[in-house]
Structure 1
Amino acid sequence: MPLLFDNPWLTLLAGAALVGLAFGAIAAATRYCNMGAVSDWVLTGDPGRMRAWLLSIAVAVAGVALLEAGGVFDLDQTRVNYRAAEFPWLRYLLGGLLFGVGMVLAGGCTTKTLVNIGQGDMKSLWAYVVVGITAAVLLYWSEARWFIDQTLAWPQLSFETVGIAHQDLGALLAGIPWGGTREHWRLATALTVTAGLIAWLWRMDHGQRMRRADLIGGLGIGLVITAGWLWTGSPAGQALMGEAALAFEPPKGTGTQSLSFVAPAAEVLRLAESPALGLVTFGMVAMLGVIVGAGIWAVLRGHFRLQGFRAWSQFASYSAGGLLMGAGGIIAMGCSVGQGLSGTSTLAVGSLIAVGGIVLGAFVTLKIMLYRALYPESRRRSLACALLADLRLIPRRCHPFRDEAPTGERPAGCSR
């Protein structure tokens, strides 16, 4: 394959930049935001951005399945081993919950945080710095890494104990002796999931058409995630990585991968400490591409505005949010993009659990903020009962605020 540069790793990084630019521009233009999807749904009942998120998952799942069935790439061995036989369910769930709470406190998921940075939001820049510092501590401090890898892996579960080498839905179904190869089950499962998501999208708003922005955002982001896998996992990408691995100082961060935005924040800090081309990773360049892509869109549309903190309470909220997103992203082995899009596109069960934790954490946090704003005189017990009723864990008739008129004001939804 002819190289864009003399260095094969630079060629791969150039592709990462293009993937990131596309992601950032699409997210900025369509207001694509995973936290915004949950926020709109909880605070206003608007399913638009949730439909965009689900559509992007459907597109990525179908794209990955078709390309994998065609032998274009193999996602059984990826840099973040989403399909690993080891199944630390507690990590997936706990990390997802922490990330979900954090993205509400920080005013947006990692996607929105990067888009906001590109549009001049210094609050989001600070939150992402905290994400990076937290992630770096958990990744590079040996004691913290040991705690996560060993303690949070309890109880040790592995699908290999029942003769199944991978944790994705297709591999699990293929492990049941009812005929068919793993490849056939993966394709059938992916197409079934895609069809189910499309049907759910139609029913979410009573058959109403999706808004054009949500449709473009869902399709575009799903294709970008697929493009990340294609660029790094195709024969051309694998050949470039093989050449890069033969260098005198092989680069870090090689391997088949798509987008994720927590670990790259830590990698930037490592690069700042010891600058070297080999420390520049695919994820890092893609992340910077998202910021630049969103920034270009903001400048062209006249939306670029420098913004800072207005109160110490806002600073504290963004700091806590960044801390929880950084910790949650490392513990769950991915964020709302790393697990919520790249991971789910492989149909890994762990990714699905992590996404469930992210949505649950955001849902609970948003509901608490909503009820505290609307019913400032309410007690903690009332909040707990309201959450249990909202989660359908107790009958709706037990909801403490069902017949009570609010005395406060409804909080604002997700950032613009």
Structure 2
Amino acid sequence: GTLVRIGGGDLRAIVVFLVLGVSALAAMRGLTGFLRVGLIEPLSLRLPETMSQGIDVLLSTVLGSYARPAVVSIAAVALAAWALADGRLVKSPRLLLSGLAVGSAVAFGWFATGWLGNDDFDPARVASLTFVAPLGNTVLYIATLSGSRADFAIGSVAGVILGSFVAAMFSHVFRWEACDDARELKRHMVGALLMGTGGIMSMGCTIGQGLSAFSTLALSAPLTMLAITCGARLGLEYTMTGEWRPAVRNLLRISH
């Protein structure tokens, strides 16, 4: 969302981009990285190799090798049925095509890094779209051009900004925007700090865990998305009430 707003002329999003990128870098290899290593990583569970590869691999180990295509197909059909159950999505070809485009972009990311960019002399990790660590790497790339190189992640950041700029210009919605007051700027900066730090600690954002990791049926995806959903709901309740205790009570009532 931040990258799309930058392409549309939102100056607030540039501030969010910089704060998010620097906080992500700090969580990966800087000041808050010590907090992550000292407090978060000891809580991680070391799963057996089979379980760490994904839900489909785990079930195929239990049910047999022929179960994996069935598990993948059932998961895909179930998710599609869940999405299409909302009549508003079916009635909006624009939203439906946009969802298909985003999903195709995630699939293309795996194809691009796993096949198009495959180099036997310079092997690289297969990856797809995610937008927390890449923002930090992009900030580092801009600051130290000669000391780093562009990769798929940095290219995807630039591509989203460029694509949103082109779309905004063609649809005549591009306009410069800024913060109304200091309170709004503070809220953007605090949110960006939390997003950059939390995105690294959770090993992905709503795109990295919610789409890219989910597309591989990774065990981490549903757990991370459940935590993100609860955190987002808590933030919305706090925004409406202005107090934490009623927000927590409302969240617990909704969960029940």
What is the identity, as a one-letter code, of the residue corresponding to 2:254? D
What is the aligned partner in structure 2 of residue 26 from structure 1?
none
Compared with structure 1, are the counterparts of its residues 270 and 255 closer, same or farther at alpha carbon in structure 2 (3 Å cutoff)? same
Matched-pair contact (CA < 8 Å) for 1:367–1:387: yes
What is the aligned partner in structure 2 of residue 118 from structure 1?
7
What is the identity, as a one-letter code, of the residue corresponding to 1:242? D
What is the aligned partner in structure 2 of residue 289 from structure 1?
159
Unaligned ranges ≥5, structure 1: 1-111, 247-253, 373-378, 393-416
Measure the CA separation in 2 of the matches of 1:134 and 1:380.
Answer: 25
Measure the CA separation in 1 of the matches of 2:147 and 2:130.
Answer: 20
1:366 corresponds to which of 214, 236, 250? 236
Measure the CA separation in 2 of the matches of 1:262 and 1:304.
Answer: 25
Question: Structure 2 matches for 1:321-336, cutoff 5 A?
Answer: 321-336=191-206
What is the identity, as a one-letter code, of the residue corresponding to 1:390? I
Matched-pair contact (CA < 8 Å) for 1:138–1:327: yes
What is the aligned partner in structure 2 of residue 387 from structure 1?
251
What is the aligned partner in structure 2 of residue 169 from structure 1?
55
Compared with structure 1, are the counterparts of its residues 382 and 134 closer, same or farther at alpha carbon in structure 2 (3 Å cutoff)? closer
Measure the CA separation in 2 of the matches of 1:208 and 1:226.
Answer: 21
What is the aligned partner in structure 2 of residue 267 from structure 1?
137
What is the aligned partner in structure 1 of residue 40 from structure 2?
152
Measure the CA separation in 1 of the matches of 2:148 and 2:205.
Answer: 24
What is the aligned partner in structure 2 of residue 212 from structure 1?
93
Measure the CA separation in 2 of the matches of 1:371 and 1:210.
Answer: 34
Compared with structure 1, are the counterparts of its residues 326 and 383 closer, same or farther at alpha carbon in structure 2 (3 Å cutoff)? closer
Measure the CA separation in 2 of the matches of 1:313 and 1:218.
Answer: 34
Compared with structure 1, are the counterparts of its residues 305 and 190 closer, same or farther at alpha carbon in structure 2 (3 Å cutoff)? same
Compared with structure 1, are the counterparts of its residues 297 and 381 closer, same or farther at alpha carbon in structure 2 (3 Å cutoff)? closer
1:200 corresponds to which of 70, 78, 82? 82
Matched, 1:257 2:127: yes
Question: Structure 2 matches for 1:37-56, cutoff 5 A?
Answer: none
What is the aligned partner in structure 2 of residue 191 from structure 1?
73
1:242 corresponds to which of 110, 120, 133? 120
What is the identity, as a one-letter code, of the residue corresponding to 2:23? T
Compared with structure 1, are the counterparts of its residues 218 and 185 closer, same or farther at alpha carbon in structure 2 (3 Å cutoff)? same
1:152: Cα distance to partner? 1.1
Measure the CA separation in 1 of the matches of 2:137 and 2:148.
Answer: 11
Measure the CA separation in 2 of the matches of 1:197 and 1:149.
Answer: 35
Measure the CA separation in 2 of the matches of 1:157 and 1:113.
Answer: 32
What is the identity, as a one-letter code, of the residue corresponding to 2:230? L
1:321: Cα distance to partner? 0.8
Matched, 1:349 2:219: yes
Compared with structure 1, are the counterparts of its residues 386 and 140 closer, same or farther at alpha carbon in structure 2 (3 Å cutoff)? closer
Measure the CA separation in 1 of the matches of 2:233 and 2:247.
Answer: 13
1:225 corresponds to which of 95, 106, 109? 106
Q: What count of residue pairs does the alignment treat as equivalent?
A: 256
Measure the CA separation in 2 of the matches of 1:133 and 1:314.
Answer: 20
Matched-pair contact (CA < 8 Å) for 2:52–2:219: no
Compared with structure 1, are the counterparts of its residues 231 and 277 closer, same or farther at alpha carbon in structure 2 (3 Å cutoff)? farther
Matched-pair contact (CA < 8 Å) for 1:123–1:315: yes
Measure the CA separation in 2 of the matches of 1:144 and 1:185.
Answer: 42
1:279: Cα distance to partner? 2.3
What is the identity, as a one-letter code, of the residue corresponding to 2:120? G
- Aligned partner of residue 204 in structure 2, secondary structure: coil
* Larger gyration radius, structure 1 or structure 2: 1
Q: Going by fraction, where is helix more abundant, 1 or 2? A: 2
1:276: Cα distance to partner? 2.4
- So what's the TM-score if we normalise by structure 1? 0.57
Percent of aligned pairs with the same residue?
27
What is the identity, as a one-letter code, of the residue corresponding to 2:125? G
- Aligned partner of residue 9 in structure 2, secondary structure: coil
What is the identity, as a one-letter code, of the residue corresponding to 1:153? E
- So what's the TM-score if we normalise by structure 2? 0.90
1:301: Cα distance to partner? 1.3
Unaligned ranges ≥5, structure 2: none
Compared with structure 1, are the counterparts of its residues 154 and 186 closer, same or farther at alpha carbon in structure 2 (3 Å cutoff)? farther
Measure the CA separation in 1 of the matches of 2:249 and 2:52.
Answer: 40
What is the aligned partner in structure 1 of residue 169 from structure 2?
299
Measure the CA separation in 2 of the matches of 1:270 and 1:281.
Answer: 12
